[in-house]
């Protein structure tokens, strides 16, 4: 792992996402090295174009110092972790996410944190001090063997479900982010049943196949479920599968009495 300490002009940037006004990403790169990750486009913007995703981390060492809480509006929604996991293992050493959140306590904006990491449990007492904060835990595949292939350094799915429970039991608002959904592989119905007592809402996101991750994804399919190769190639051409799945999942969530939201329509790049 190549670790580089860098400085940033501002850790809070405007968001291009539909449900966030601002984003905070204390790190460039991610130790989890998820094979499906869309965020590896960050390589070409950060001088890591020839390096493998998951082999480098840039640590924005001055990130907390760039935050002026007086300039943060209370009605702003800040997503922490849009293109990196803010609680990846290096956070244990650098504590950049924690320190940024401590500074934001003064202005009390709306905070949303997205992670795969159990390290977030370290900061429960800090998270409880925010008046409007939610934590999303991301799980795409429940099968442990397949998860190890796709997310080689991330916490196992069952451990992440336990993190959801502990956050919920601590009075913190939570949601499950079932992302990315691998057609005919992700055990979506079981994930809903296992998590529904510990979340206020479930988000769904389709597998976003792009040129930067297409080869890795198809290699995974060929190694584990070769009979699905044609289906996965068809996902590049149309939204038929996702449209049908969205209808089915809305019905299931209604039956389970759980709120849901869908992110199934990415722009093609």
Q: What pLDDT score was predicted for residue 168? A: 98
| Burial label, 45 (beta-carbon count in 10 A; 0-12, 13-18, 19+) | exposed
Number of alpha helices (DSSP H) and beta strands (DSSP E) in the chain: 9, 11
Whole-angstrom distance, CA of residue 123 vs CA of residue 127: 6
Q: What pLDDT score was predicted for residue 120? A: 98
pTM confidence score:
0.93
The per-residue pLDDT for range 125-178, each reduced to its tens digit, is 999 999 999 999 999 999 999 999 999 999 999 999 999 999 999 999 999 999
Count Cβ neighbours within 10 Å for each residue of 165-198 and write b for 16 or more, e otherwise. bebbeeebbbbbbbbbbbbebbbbeebbebbeeb
Confidence band, pLDDT 50/70/90 cuts, at residue 37:
confident
Range 227-238 average pLDDT: 92
Domains of the chain (ranges, CATH numbers): 2-263 (3.80.30.30)
Q: What pLDDT score was predicted for residue 266? A: 55
Looking up tokens 């929604």 gives 77
Pairing of strands 22-24, 12-14: antiparallel
What's the farthest any 2 CA atoms get from each other in the chain? 56
Do 201 and 175 contact (CB within 8 A), yes or no? Answer: yes
Confidence band, pLDDT 50/70/90 cuts, at residue 268:
very low
The per-residue pLDDT for range 45-87, each reduced to its tens digit, is 677 777 887 789 999 999 999 999 999 988 999 999 999 999 9
């Amino acid at each position: 792992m190549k670790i580089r300490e860098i400085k940033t002009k501002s850790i809070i940037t405007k968001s291009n996402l539909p449900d966030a006004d601002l984003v905070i990403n204390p790190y460039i790169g991610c130790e989890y090295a998820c094979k499906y990750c869309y965020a590896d486009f960050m390589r070409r913007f950060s001088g890591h174009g020839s390096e493998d995703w998951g082999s480098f981390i840039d640590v924005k060492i001055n990130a907390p110092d760039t935050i002026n809480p007086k300039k943060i509006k209370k009605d702003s929604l800040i997503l922490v972790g849009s293109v990196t996991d803010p609680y990846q293992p290096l956070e244990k050493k650098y504590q950049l996410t924690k320190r940024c959140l401590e500074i934001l306590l003064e202005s009390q904006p709306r905070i949303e944190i997205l992670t795969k990491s159990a390290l977030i449990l370290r900061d429960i007492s800090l998270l409880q001090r925010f008046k409007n904060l939610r934590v999303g835990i991301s799980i795409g595949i429940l099968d442990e063997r397949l998860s190890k292939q796709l997310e080689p350094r991330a916490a196992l799915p069952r451990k992440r479900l336990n993190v959801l429970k502990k956050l919920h039991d601590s009075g913190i608002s939570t949601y499950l982010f079932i992302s990315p959904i691998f057609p005919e592989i992700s055990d979506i119905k079981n994930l809903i049943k296992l998590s529904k007592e510990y979340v206020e809402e479930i988000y769904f996101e389709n597998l976003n196949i792009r040129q930067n991750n297409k080869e890795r994804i198809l290699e995974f399919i060929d190694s584990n479920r070769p009979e699905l190769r044609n289906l996965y190639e068809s996902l590049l051409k149309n939204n038929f599968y996702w449209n049908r799945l969205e209808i089915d999942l809305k019905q299931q969530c209604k039956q389970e009495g759980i709120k849901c939201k869908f992110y199934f329509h990415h722009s093609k790049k």
